[in-house]
Amino acid sequence: MKWSMFVVACIVVALSAQGADDVHSVNVGAVKTITIPAASGGASFSLLGINFDAFSDGDANLLGVLGGKITASFLPTLADQVWLWDGTQYKQYAIHTKDNQFHPADINWEDTTNNPAIIPGDALWIVTPNGRPAFDLTLTGQAVADATYGVPITNGFNFVAYPYSADINLQDAVTVAEGGSASFLPTLADQIWLWNGTSYEQYALKDSDGKWRGTAEADWTNTPPTDVSISIGEGFWYVRAAAPFTWTETIPYQPALD
């Protein structure tokens, strides 16, 4: 995937009244454009992360995030699909042309609408059918303004994203101090799997220094800690080797929102 520049636009409106404190309304808009590659020789898979708040509670769902931005069809196999992970398996959705609503891409396609909630820290696949040309997908919302934000992590596979509207270095993503589980063996440690467009790049948390390293033997034993950036709009797998915990991050750009 090609990742374009992240844009934040601040709109500040100040209202004053005689004898009262000034009232300020601040709206920080966030925009990220991602190039979804052409699907040639089979479906195309793009792993996206949600790093924005919706503009309203009513838009914090698949239709609010992706409505009008991906291709609908009368058949789910001809539409762009969204795949969500429910903790044990994928749930697949697509927009039906009969009502422009999301439907489950299964035997309930004709009869059931389904518009799952989407919040910062979630991840999803955009799966385009064979023959679909490349296109730009623009995600919009508000920059996440919570002072801290927690992403629940269960034992096993978690489909997640950095919950703030910024890039993050892999070494800062989940530290031992934040609850990451390190080990002398990558198979016994927490892992992060990043999608490069065709396969996963796998990293694990090493106990000797608490740093993320590639899980291949040469990377694990002989190289410095991995310097990789997780971009805005990029989701990933967090593979938890220990008990559940909440990955809690602190807002990285607070002065810009004050």
Residue 255 has what pLDDT? Answer: 53
CA distances from 6 to 31, 143, 229, 236, 256 (A): 6, 11, 14, 19, 15
Q: What is the per-residue pLDDT across 41-66, written as a single tens digit (0 to 9) for each?
A: 999 999 999 999 999 989 999 999 99
Sort 16 into a burial class: Cβ within 10 Å, 0-12 / 13-18 / 19+: exposed
> Is residue 82 a contact partner of residue 102, using CB atoms and an 8 Å limit?
yes
Identify the three-state secondary structure at position 210. coil
CA distance 115 to 111: 14
The DSSP bridge partners found for residue 258 are none
pLDDT band, residue 226 (cuts 50/70/90): confident
Q: What is the per-residue pLDDT across 6-31, written as a single tens digit (0 to 9) for each?
A: 444 433 322 223 233 222 224 578 88
**Residue where the block lists tokens 């927490």:** 190
Q: Rounded mean pLDDT of 159-187?
A: 96
**Residue where the block lists tokens 């065709």:** 198
All structural domains of the chain with their residue ranges: 35-140, 148-257
